[in-house]
Amino acid sequence: MQPHSISQVWDQLTGTQAMPNSTVIWATAVLALLAVGWRTVWQLTRNVVTIAHEGGHALVALLMRRRLHGIRLHSDTSGLTVSSGKPHGPGMVLTAAAGYVAPSLLGLGGAWMLAAGHTTGLLWAVVALLLCVLIEVRNAYGVLTVLLTGGLCFAVSWFGNAQLQGAFAYLCVWFLLLAGVRPVLELQTKRARGQARDSDADQLARLTRLPGLFWVGVFLVVSLGSLLVGARWLIPWT
């Protein structure tokens, strides 16, 4: 981008940019699929999903007027968001339910912005969200992960040309849409083996008296629905 004045920055943020050609769009979809499906790569890229997951918990906790005590991100790609407030009721239910659906809903919002041509605006929105998460992170690994992710997004949005920005933005959105599905499937696999007795789904089961499998189904419907709608917006059908 490399604008030379505040007005140019504003024009980039609020203006629209042309979408990449169909080859780039399909190529970024394939790369995102590899980043999710290739186990070796997934062990690294899953950190981004954890940021979105814990950020979802944190955002909803604040919206529900709970007191947020911080976010921790770990090297095994697990995370923890701690908040205090009423230990039951709609606010606690929504806070617990927000994590697994957050990556998919962020991807869906990103797909909508790309379909509207707001590529640069999307990248800067991502940087702003990551800064908000960074403020609440309470461990060194978490700070490093968020800084690296945010730094990459900022570098592309500030120094990259329109073609690079477009390809990177589509790659990120495809990744969030696709990556939102896999953790839900992994969650149910662990639950079936008795390895996730304190998962979000099981916490929701205790809060609502609805079975954990019901909540896994909710997470899966949201993630798959977001993927289908988001793909409809991203793919050039004509």
Establish if 17 belongs to a structural domain. no
Establish if 15 belongs to a structural domain. no
How high is the pLDDT of residue 185? 97
Establish if 31 belongs to a structural domain. no
How high is the pLDDT of residue 7? 67
Q: How many CB atoms sit inside 10 A of residue 190's CB?
A: 13
Establish if 5 belongs to a structural domain. no
Establish if 174 belongs to a structural domain. yes
- pTM of this prediction? 0.93
Establish if 8 belongs to a structural domain. no
Establish if 28 belongs to a structural domain. no
Range of the domain at 59: 38-234
Is the separation of the CB atoms in 31 and 171 below 8 Å? yes
Q: In three state form, how does the secondary structure of 142-177 look?
A: HHHHHHHHHHHHHHHHHHCCHHHHHHHHHHHHHHHH
Query: How many domains are there within the chain?
Result: 1
- Per-residue pLDDT for the chain (238 aa), expressed as one digit of tens each? 555 566 666 666 677 888 899 999 999 999 999 999 999 999 999 999 999 999 999 999 999 999 999 999 999 999 999 999 999 999 999 999 999 999 999 999 999 999 999 999 999 999 999 999 999 999 999 999 999 999 999 999 999 999 999 999 999 999 999 999 999 999 999 999 988 888 999 999 999 999 999 999 999 999 999 999 999 999 987 6
How high is the pLDDT of residue 11? 66
How high is the pLDDT of residue 4? 52
Nearest by Cα to 198 from 118, 70, 96, 51: 96
- Rounded Cα–Cα distance for residues 61 and 96 (Å): 9
How high is the pLDDT of residue 195? 87
Is the separation of the CB atoms in 22 and 30 below 8 Å? no
Residue 185, CB-side half-sphere exposure with 13 Å CA sphere: 9
State the DSSP H helix or E strand holding residue 21, giving kind and residue range, or none if neither.
none
Establish if 19 belongs to a structural domain. no
Task: Give SS3 for 2.
Answer: coil
Contacts of 156 (CB under 8 A, 6+ apart): 123, 164, 165, 168
